[in-house]
Amino acid sequence: MVIGIDASRANHTQKTGVEWYAWHTIEHLKHIIPDTVRVVLYTNTPLQGDLAVLPKHWEEKVLRWPPKRLWTQVRLSIEMVIHAPDVLWIPAHVFPLIHPKKTVMTVHDIAACTFKESYNFFEAWYSTYIPKKALKKLWKIIVPSQFTKEELIEKFSPKKTDHINVIHHGYNEVYNKKDKKSEKDVQKIYGTGAKYILSVGRLEQKKNTARMIKAFTIYKDAHQHDDIKFVLIGKPGYGYKKVQEAIEKSPYKKDIYELGWVKDNDLMLFMKKAAVFLFPSLYEGFGIPILEAQASGTIVVAGKGSSLEEVGKDGAIYIDVKSEEDIAKGIEMALHNKEKREECLQKGFLNVQQFSWATCAKETFIALSEGKNMVS
């Protein structure tokens, strides 16, 4: 049996959600796929770092020929004509035009259906067309949450649904580590101060960034003695102009820090030391940062209405994502209601133990191997 995997997204240098999902799952698959199965990692550039360290029955295949654009639809499709594997897994949203009968694709969300304005015309059409086609044409679909499965069924009304596999993501277990002796003081390095609320994700409409800033202003108005700051980690996205306007209008703009993308170790330290992790996203297919916060011992304030309650369960405070006042109340509860805070922290720690990349990889391999548990 030969399993082919599109490793191009996992090979990105500055990884975010989808890239980390592909990287972690592939890394854990290395430990569980038996040597009776050959694995081929397809990539557009040579593999880097740990990803390039392969077991003996694995191989890297760099598809170098032109064009540079449309790598999946052109180069990967040509490879499928010449040397198709028995099973092909696409960890991201786009499968090649030409593909094996047994092709599996992960659909992380269908945000383009709800937030068309966040994409250009082609991206919005493509991001909707591909999962719709995948439901009809592909052997199996993997989704990270029951929420995403229900979204696919509601939006596209597929004739069959039994080929949709819900496999939860994991999280980076370095967030579990409690030893702080070697931790550098990232707050001093970035100049943010020691007490802060943390947001991680693109600064955009879908992540609800502008409302978070307004909610922070409401909280500060009610607690002017509190010197707490607001730290935003993430690159600008669609609707960033409104984020800038909200910051400029806030009388506490000197307490708001935009750090852009930060390297992984610094992000982990920011999460561990945050007073509150704020994640009132309007739409999420999963929400890995909630698990990272819970593992870090950081209280979570998250949004109702998408997958976040499925992920965080009763280990978080949930708020109305469209109400700045309710988001502010969530912040206040997280900071000042000691009983609720302690309850959420304890339940969050128990909840996060139900998720792991090892489990995600095991269930993914079972899906790729025709539903048979070949893991020893």
Tens-digit pLDDT profile for residues 265-316: 899 999 999 999 999 999 999 999 999 999 999 999 999 988 999 999 999 9
Answer yes or no: do 160 and 183 share one domain. Answer: no
* CA–CA–CA angle 260, 143, 147 (5° rounding): 85
Answer yes or no: do 79 and 21 share one domain. Answer: yes
In a domain, 364, yes or no: yes
Structure tokens at 339: 């009983």
**Residue 129 scores a pLDDT above 90:** no
Answer yes or no: do 63 and 193 share one domain. Answer: no
* Model pLDDT, residue 15: 81
pTM higher than 0.85: yes
How much is the average pLDDT of 67-82?
A: 88
Answer yes or no: do 166 and 191 share one domain. Answer: no
* Model pLDDT, residue 182: 46
In a domain, 376, yes or no: no
Answer yes or no: do 137 and 164 share one domain. Answer: yes
Closest by Cα among 369, 358, 354, 288 to 28 = 358
Q: How confident is the model at residue 374 (pLDDT cuts 50, 70, 90)?
A: low
**Residue 357 scores a pLDDT above 80:** yes
Answer yes or no: do 151 and 8 share one domain. Answer: yes
Count of domains observed in the chain: 2
Partners of residue 256 on adjacent β-strands: 230
Structure confidence by residue, pLDDT tens digits, 164-175: 999 999 999 889
Answer yes or no: do 119 and 215 share one domain. Answer: no
Answer yes or no: do 112 and 178 share one domain. Answer: no
Percentage above 90 pLDDT, the chain: 76
Structural domain boundaries enclosing 267: 173-352
Partners of residue 87 on adjacent β-strands: 3
Is 17 or 229 the better-scoring residue by pLDDT? Answer: 229
How much is the average pLDDT of 126-136?
A: 89
Answer yes or no: do 326 and 296 share one domain. Answer: yes
Answer yes or no: do 266 and 223 share one domain. Answer: yes
Answer yes or no: do 241 and 264 share one domain. Answer: yes
359 SS3 class: helix
CATH number at residue 258: 3.40.50.2000
In a domain, 307, yes or no: yes
- Phi, psi dihedrals of residue 29, rounded to the nearest 5°: -65, -30
**Residue 68 scores a pLDDT above 80:** no
Say how far apart CA 317 and CA 326 lie, in whole Å. Answer: 11
In a domain, 309, yes or no: yes
Looking up tokens 């449309």 gives 70
- Choice among 51-65, 120-134, 271-285 with the minimum mean pLDDT: 120-134
In a domain, 21, yes or no: yes
Q: How confident is the model at residue 235 (pLDDT cuts 50, 70, 90)?
A: very high
Say how far apart CA 265 and CA 234 lie, in whole Å. Answer: 15
